[in-house]
Structure 1
Amino acid sequence: MKDTYTIAVVHGDGIGPEVARAAVAVLQAGVQAGTLRFVDYPAGADHFLKTGDSFPAASFEGCRTADAILHGAAGIPGVVHPDGTEAGLDFTLTLRFKLDLFANVRPIKLYKGVPSPLGRPGPIDYVIVRENSEGLYAARGAGALLREEVAVDTLVQTRKGVERIVRFAFELARTRNGSPKDGRRRVTCCDKANVLRTYAFFRAVFDEVAKEYPDIEAEHVLVDAMTVHLVNKPTHFDVIVTENMFGDIISDLGAATVGGMGMAPSEEVGDGIGFFQASHGSAPDIAGKGLANPYGTILASILMLRRLDQRHRDSRLKLGADRIEAAVCAGLEDPALRTRDIGGVAPTNQVVDALLKRL
């Protein structure tokens, strides 16, 4: 337990500053005064346009030494480095690899009052655990383009990388209440083991680790079948573990079933610091119009409090997380406090003001 926890806040681009400000305001109202200290750092595409540097060294150092990192959103279409890569992505990718944030955790939960395109699918409440440092995305910047005719990227899986992400998923399952459908604690391995050796290796290591957790049910689902199951039987799942690119894809699909990207928080964690943000992008088309959905970033801030409490055993953090989550649940049940992406018309500030009053 610490007296004060330093939170590095990077507002980013587009609607990033709007949702980051919303989350900070809610955290300040929901957590005991003096518990959290917020420090702003610049990074992103907008900062790149102003200075030529998308992630200053001072910002990285501030993030590295903080207790947690809270982020708004990154990227502006067309703002790229000379090699064509997006300037805004430097921030997230640098943190992932330099801080070894190997686990990308995406809760997929349908809150009461939020419409789902699936109609009335029942209680959706599962977590996608995405390996965050290997897989196909490990080839970023290292692929080959030959004579403008052939392009090659390499999919990388290591035993260490697969073992630790699978073990992370099983440990997470032990803390949950199981599948909403049958109450069984279950970890599902999502792969393409029937076609590619890399995924067959991922599955083999998964099976080895699963033997250490006889109390948790283990199963396999091929990624193409998974896209069907997340639509047809989402209540079956508890924890899903998968490779980097597959996790990127199916977590967006899962988010669509629970109200969209504005309702999808994300945490990226390793053995130390954590990085927290909503899963959505910077949405520059609505930036500054007061239309952004702040719930995703506020839900990410709840994940941040719970992760800090897990590390430091601080009742102030747990109480704050519980209070903010209760306010969010109450807000979402009120049709007047839903933004347009989840079936309402409430502007960002109306949602935030109402949450602050509840807190």
Structure 2
Amino acid sequence: MKFHIAALPGDGVGQEIMTEGIKVLRAAEEIVTGFELDFEKFEVGANLYRKTGVALPDEAFKACQDSHAIYLGAIGLPEVREKTGPEVGGQVMFKLRFDLDLFAGVRPFKLYEGVESPLRNVEKIDFVVLRENIEGLFASYGGGTLVSDEVATDTVVITRKGTEKISDYAFQLALKRNGRVLDGKKVVTCVDKSNVFRSMAFFNKVFNQVADRYEGQVKRDHALIDAMTLWMVQQPQNYDVIVTENQFGDIISDLAASLVGGMGMAPSGDVGYNHGMFQPAHGSAPTIAGKGIANPFAMIISGAMMLDWLGDKHQNKSAKKAAILIEMAVSQTLKERVKTFDIGGTASTTEFADHVVAQMKKLANQVNTVS
């Protein structure tokens, strides 16, 4: 099967890491076979806005809408902003998320051998932060109020439908995983501020109603957001799948990244029932753009997530095998201490990706035995 992929390199380091991400995906396509990837690149983002006044052209949005998946590099530059204040990168991110109903922000965090965590005596971390992507505080994007330059407000929006969708996705994801590091139990932890806010109490209530459907299959857990920032650092092995509101998910996913090596180690997927967008969770890092030192790990693993999602959606076992192959090769690369500077190594952006490709070729026979 041929998959049409809308590729959006974006801003800053996006161009560099996109090149390496596609290189790895092309290698997977060649080694595994059984699927094809047709990439079509489109210029979007802050640099384009600076030139044209448009961050996401209609042509690019239509291509994303019609594609099998979207592969995104990095969007936004701090100094390129709308007249009302926010960065223009939101014009790309939020239109794609909202208009394509990419309701699940999937952010996996895994500590790889060869990468040091700032936590003492922690050898294994493996959990997912699942961020509701189109409601919560972010539903106010483009709205809110500003009165006489004296009062500004934004509104949190929580709906039953949206909460049911993200909660059900969380339990379905837990069923596919191997459980938490602590004891192998499959657990979904709802994170909210239900002791204070009516909207959060409602989020928690709907979560528990969905959890009832999975009784006996997946354990439910609960944490208040302030406590979670403590517990996630103290005992990350206690968590399997964490599901939370949009803004909370945005914050704690960055905290989670710090535990496994930093933002360069944070891949992500924004997915819905019909569309999927895959990108590193880090920003455009303009201060290191063009220096060849950006970490392509998150871009590469986001590509593997894309293949896995496509494999599930289109019943293509080859795409899923290719995703496994990429993850195995990245793991072996890091195990051999081939690392970029942000995680204590000396490899360039290209050298890291080239080593991953070399490992993929070595591991090809192993992945082809996967049923």
Tell me what 2:186 maps to.
185
- CA offset at residue 89 of structure 1? 2.1
**Aligned Cα RMSD in Å?**
1.0
Can you give the 5+ residue segments of structure 2 that lack an aligned partner in the other structure? 361-371
Q: Given that residues 122 and 235 in structure 1 are in contact (C-alpha distance below 8 angstroms), is that contact kept between their aligned partners in structure 2?
A: no
CA distance in 1, matches of 2:353, 2:172: 34
Contact 1:189 1:206 (8 Å CA) reproduced: yes
Q: Which residue of 2 aligns with 1:53?
A: 54
- Which of 6, 15, 33 lines up with 1:8 in the alignment? 6
Q: Is the 8 A contact 2:190 2:223 kept in 1?
A: yes
CA distance in 2, matches of 1:314, 1:355: 23
Whether 1:63 and 2:64 are equivalent positions in the alignment is yes
Q: Which residue of 2 aligns with 1:272?
A: 274
Q: Any idea what the Cα deviations from partners look like across 1:210-260, whole Å, max 9, x if unmatched?
A: 110011111110001100111000001000100000000000000110011
User: In 2, are the aligned partners of 1:193 and 1:203 still within 8 Å (CA)?
Assistant: yes
- Please tell me whether residue 19 in structure 1 is matched to residue 17 in structure 2: yes
Q: For residues 176-211 of structure 1, what are the alpha-carbon distances to aligned partners after superposition, in whole Å with 9 as ceiling and x for unaligned?
A: 111111111000000000111110111111111111
In the TM superposition, 1:199-348 aligns within 5 A as 199-214=200-215, 215-335=217-337, 337-348=338-349
* 237-246 vs 30-39, greater mean Cα deviation: 30-39
Displacement of 1:29 in angstroms is: 0.6
Contact 2:10 2:44 in 1 (8 A): yes
Give 2:367's aligned residue: none
Please state how far the C-alpha of 1:83 moved relative to its aligned partner: 2.4
Amino acid at match of 1:273: H
Distance across 1 between alignment mates of 2:335 and 2:123: 16
1:211 partner SS: helix
1:91-120 CA distance string (max 9 Å, x none):
111100100100001001111111111133
What is residue 109 of structure 1 aligned with on the other side?
110
Corresponding position of 1:356 = 357
What's 1:130 paired with? 131
Question: What is aligned with 2:37?
Answer: 36
Structure 1 residue 86 displacement after superposition: 1.3
SS at match of 1:183: coil
Whole-Å separation in 2 of the counterparts to 1:18 and 1:229: 36
Q: Aligned equivalents of 1:52 and 1:193: distance in 2? A: 41
| Runs of 4+ with deviation above 6 angstroms | none
- Farther off after superposition, 303-312 or 32-41: 32-41
What residue identity is the alignment partner of 2:175?
A: R
d(CA) in 2 for partners of 1:358, 1:125: 23
Aligned residue for 2:366?
none
Structure 1's unaligned 5+ residue stretches are none
CA distance in structure 1 between the partners assigned to 2:20 and 2:194 by the alignment:
43
Q: Which amino acid aligns with 1:126?
A: F
Q: How does 1:142-181 map to 2 (within 5 A)?
A: 142-181=143-182
Secondary structure of the residue aligned to 1:76 is coil
Which secondary structure state, in structure 1, belongs to the residue aligned with residue 287 of structure 2?
coil
| Kept in 2: contact 1:31–1:319 (CA 8 A) | no
Residues of 2 paired with 1:340 and 1:120: CA distance?
Answer: 23
Q: Secondary structure at the match of 2:214?
A: coil
Q: Which amino acid aligns with 2:334?
A: L
TM-score, with normalisation over the residues of structure 1? 0.97
3-state SS, counterpart of residue 31 of structure 1: helix
Percent identical among aligned pairs is: 48
State the secondary structure of the residue aligned to 2:248.
helix
Q: Does residue 99 of the first structure (1) align with residue 111 of the second (2)?
A: no
In 2, Cα distance between equivalents of 1:76 and 1:151: 24
**Pairwise CA distance, 1:6:** 0.7
Q: Give the CA deviation at 1:356.
A: 2.1
The 3-state SS of whatever aligns with 2:233 is helix
Q: How many residues are paired up? A: 356
Q: 2:101 touches 2:275 (CA, 8 Å); kept in 1?
A: no
- Paired letter, 2:348: P
